[in-house]
Amino acid sequence: MRSRSSLAFIAIAFAAALFACGGGGPPDPVPIPPPPPPPQPTVTQGDWYTYRHDTQRTGRSGVVGPQNPQILYSIPGTGEPVFNSENTAYICSLGFDYESSLAAVRDGEVLWALNPEEEGIPYSPTVCADGSVCVSVPWGWTDKRGDIRRYTHEGELLWRFDVDWSNGPTISPDGSVFFNGFISEDDGFALIAVTADGELRWQLPEVRNEFMVPQAIAPDGALVLTAWFGVTFETEYPTVMKLNLATGDVLWETAMPFEPPFGWGYAPSVPVIADNGTIYVADIVGIYAFSPQGEVLWSYYPDGQDIEYPTGPTPWGEEWPPAIGPEGNIYLTLMEEMETYATALIALTSEGELLWRRDEHFEGAPIVDAAGTVYIGSGYSETWYYTDSVSQAEQMEPRNSVLAINPNGTTKWEFSALDELEVGVVLCMDNEGNLVVSGRDADGDPWEERLFWIGDAQ
């Protein structure tokens, strides 16, 4: 039998519980959290979400390209598109005469486009992991300075970071943005890092590359870039650098092993990084491999190191970066003859050994699909140029072809549409395995650049 004291204790405890609940009434309702927002498009394997597919700049898609090619559709536009996981293409400078700024396109239909008079003309779009889009806007297009901008996937401005003459942004997994920019006349150029919210993180002065070459991110999480001349030591020739992503501290800087006599005319390409951390950098005449620690592993020149340089201008400013196949082989377009500006497509092993070479005057940097097929444009059937002619293209027979080349160097297919398409460069591959090729409509305005989607025949 319970004692009176124990019963009193129970009564007191019960009364305290009622008091804690607000007297004898029911407890306050538990707030119901609002439903989560609908998911935004995110980056997944296979998305060509930034320049040269990924931040290692491999030029290698995660999907397989067309087997039976045909032109699916085309739109007016310039530059390399990028794609989100829903296969929406983000394109800068959509239309002739810059009729729009950044635009979103799916299956050839424009979803939205920004006004160039209000937004300027951006370039180098990148889809971030949360589905937002980051672009660079150089100064001079509006009455404002240039800037780096971040938009939602629907084109709403999130933030802008003002800086003169910025290059294409590189986005790290945490959303931080890295780019070269001209700060002021007194401070000059710098490598700049801002947070995912657009706030300054750090900057490294004296890093200069006016060809707007974007940086790359190595598998170990470090930032790799090429610079016109030495930053940590004195040299007038290009260098390769590796930086701590979080702090901007220079881990190492190595001079390019080849010192071109014309300096700026032979700037290095964007760094291309293999999965094992090996760094490849090309210029107009060769390719160079660096270890993850900055040691020069090997160099390759198509015709040896004894190269005679022309007295005329170089055929392009920004050198075409190599692509890395799924087996680790390297594919690149190099100048095979400096006197005539002829080009060749070259395949190398990861140790720098020649696998094969095709001398057919190819245009642009190659890209590779998940099966190892190489895609590239070939504008002319001749393998040489007239260097003393202003209208050199008129003296050659047009080829206007897109080639798919097997990993062993044989032709898988050649697609030519002389009556419809003036082929420029194979730019990229969308999530469905369709190629995006720059060109012009032969029946339209000869100056209107277009983007053609080439996929499997229906």
Q: Exposed, middle or buried, 388 (CB in 10 Å: 0-12/13-18/19+)?
A: exposed
Pair type for strands 374-380 and 133-137: unpaired
CA atoms within 13 A of residue 445's CA, in its CB half-sphere: 9
Is residue 18 pLDDT above 80, yes or no?
A: no
pLDDT digits (tens, 9 = 90+) for 413-446: 999 875 666 667 899 999 999 999 988 766 666 6
324/60 Cα distance (integer angstroms):
6
Lowest mean pLDDT among 127-131, 158-162, 252-256, 448-452: 448-452
- The closest of 153, 86, 146, 96 to 119, measured between CA atoms, is 146
Q: How far apart are CA 76 and CA 74, in angstroms?
A: 7
Give pLDDT tens digits for 304-338.
Answer: 555 554 433 333 434 789 999 999 999 998 876 55
What does 36-77 look like in DSSP terms, one character per residue? PPPPPP---TT---BTTBSTT---B-SS---SSEEEEEEEE-
The share of the chain scoring above pLDDT 70, in percent, equals 70
Which of 29-43, 164-178, 333-347, 361-375 has the largest mean confidence?
Answer: 361-375
Tell me the C-alpha distance between 319 and 423, whole Å.
Answer: 19
Question: At 61, which amino acid appears?
Answer: S
Among 240, 252, 251, which residue's Cα sits nearest to residue 299? 240
In this prediction the pTM is 0.83
Beta carbons of 209 and 228 less than 8 angstroms apart: yes
pLDDT band at 216 (very low <50, low <70, confident <90, very high): very high
d(CA 310, CA 411): 32
Whether the CB-CB separation of 320 and 333 falls below 8 Å is answered with yes
- Whether the pLDDT of residue 265 is over 70: the answer is no
Alpha carbon distance 107, 257 (integer Å): 45
Q: Are 262 and 247 in contact (CB under 8 A)?
A: no
C-alpha 326/C-alpha 339 separation (Å) is: 34
Check: CB of residue 230 under 8 Å from CB of residue 275. no
DSSP 23: T
In Å, what is the CA distance from 182 to each residue of 55, 191, 212, 236? Answer: 23, 9, 11, 19
State the DSSP code for 79: S
Given a cut of 60, whether residue 451 has pLDDT beyond it is: yes
Give the up-direction half-sphere exposure of residue 423: CA atoms within 13 A in the CB hemisphere: 30
Q: Which of 41-50, 111-120, 391-400 has the lowest mean pLDDT?
A: 391-400
Taking residues 77-99, report their average pLDDT. 82
49-456: CATH architecture: 7 Propeller (2.130)
**347: which residues sit within 8 A by CB, 6+ positions away?**
329, 330, 331, 354, 355, 356, 357, 374, 407, 409
380: tokens are 């002319």
What count of Cα atoms within 13 Å lies in the side-chain half-sphere of residue 367?
A: 29
**Amino acid identity for residue 365 in this structure:** A
